[in-house]
Amino acid sequence: MAAHRRRRPWELPESAVTDEAVYLSRRRFLRALGLGGLTAGGLAVGGRGLLDGAWAQDEPLPPLAAPRSEAHADAGRPLTPEPLPYRYNNFYEFTTDKERVWRLARGFRLDPYALEVDGLVERPGALALEDVEALGLEERVYRFRCVEAWAMTVPWVGVPLRKVLEKVGVRPEANYVAFTSFLDPKQAPGQRGGGYRWPYYEALRLDEAMHDLTLVATGIYGKRLPPQCGAPLRLVVPWKYGFKGAKSVVRIEVTRARPRCFWNDLHPDEYSWSSNVEPDVPHPRWSQATERLLGSGDRVPTLPYNGYGEQVARLYAT
Ligand code: MTE
């Protein structure tokens, strides 16, 4: 993602910003992720030892079982091996360094947690996590595509956002749905400076929010979300670039006017408001034609709407 005008860490050679030992271990780690330029073998050899050892230090995650949705049991490519989505994250509230998010987010808790749902709804109020999950948890395997041209395939555990909105009753004059992430600089070092306008905020059109593919997820791989993946609840919109999926969401507001969005506000020339996955529309710094899969490191073509065109293209027919 783009930061402000500051020079960005990923624009420097890694060797210029880290000492050699760290640099070498990062190289091995990136190779395990399939991002280090060595694609042959990928995770198979070096990766496994690395991830079972020093990198596999998460607190055990509580199980969160849910029936797998038949319609979303298979995303057309192999699942990303489980530890990887916990070790390579974008969560700027903690750090802009993807490989360090998990360490800095360790112990992060929103406790007590409530999801505020308000705005143009009939029954505004606070939902406990259990209230959301009681709407019918299911497991869905989705492709995930970051605008930085890396991608993964993960089994989310969640509830269609539509069910949450139906529970509170959307009023007829509503057009949009806004999402606000947590604000807690005590727990999140990235919120104590850095020049970003916290909390993170995102939004969808109402028809996008009501689409069956749009999930609020509270789990991943049959377990509760780890902090670095957006615990306790995040948005997942598989046909849009990953930054549309706000993590650790505490408020959903239904609005008439179009809400603002974090990255679109910062760089409207780089991040459009709707940010559907569009391989033919290059980003100034990343071609969007292909993507690198976490794990295998394979580079594969990016599909329009991230492969979900059959389900969503009608939303954008003019
Ligand atoms: N949500 C919050 N609150 N803060 C963030 O920095 N980053 C976004 C999105 N949601 C972000 C966020 C981006 S750029 C991406 S690609 C995904 O989260 C990354 O999700 P992951 O780390 O679980 O893969």
pLDDT tens for 230-280 read: 999 999 999 999 999 999 999 999 999 999 999 999 999 999 999 999 999
What percent of the chain stands above pLDDT 90? Answer: 78
Return the pLDDT at 2. 56
Return the pLDDT at 318. 82
Domain assignment present for residue 229? The answer is yes
For 14, residues 6+ apart whose C-beta sits below 8 A from its C-beta are 23, 26, 27
Q: How many residues does the chain have?
A: 318
Domain assignment present for residue 43? The answer is no
The pTM score is 0.88
Q: How far apart are CA 174 and CA 42, in angstroms?
A: 47
Give me the domain span that covers residue 225.
Answer: 60-309
Domain assignment present for residue 315? The answer is no
Domain assignment present for residue 110? The answer is yes
Residue 99's domain is classified under what CATH number?
A: 3.90.420.10
Domain assignment present for residue 300? The answer is yes
Q: DSSP for 56-104, please give it.
A: --PPPPPB---PBPGGGS--SSPPPPTTGGGTS--BTTTBS-TTTHHHH
Domain assignment present for residue 271? The answer is yes
Hey, what amino acid is at 92? Y
Q: Which residues line ligand 1 (CB under 6 A)?
A: 1, 85, 89-93, 146, 181, 200, 229-230, 242-243, 245-248
Ligand 1 atom 23 nearest Cα: 229
Q: Ligand 1 centre and the CA of 136: distance in Å?
A: 25
Identify which has the larger pLDDT, 27 or 195. Answer: 195
Return the pLDDT at 176. 99
Ligand 1 atom 10 nearest Cα: 246
Return the pLDDT at 247. 98
Residue with tokens 């269609």: 160
Residue with tokens 């604000």: 183
Q: How many domains does the chain have?
A: 1
Q: Out of 247, 277, 285, 294, give the residue to mutate to test ligand 1, the one with the largest number of ligand atoms within 8 Å of its CB.
A: 247
Domain assignment present for residue 246? The answer is yes
pLDDT digits (tens, 9 = 90+) for 172-208: 999 999 999 999 999 999 999 888 999 999 999 999 9
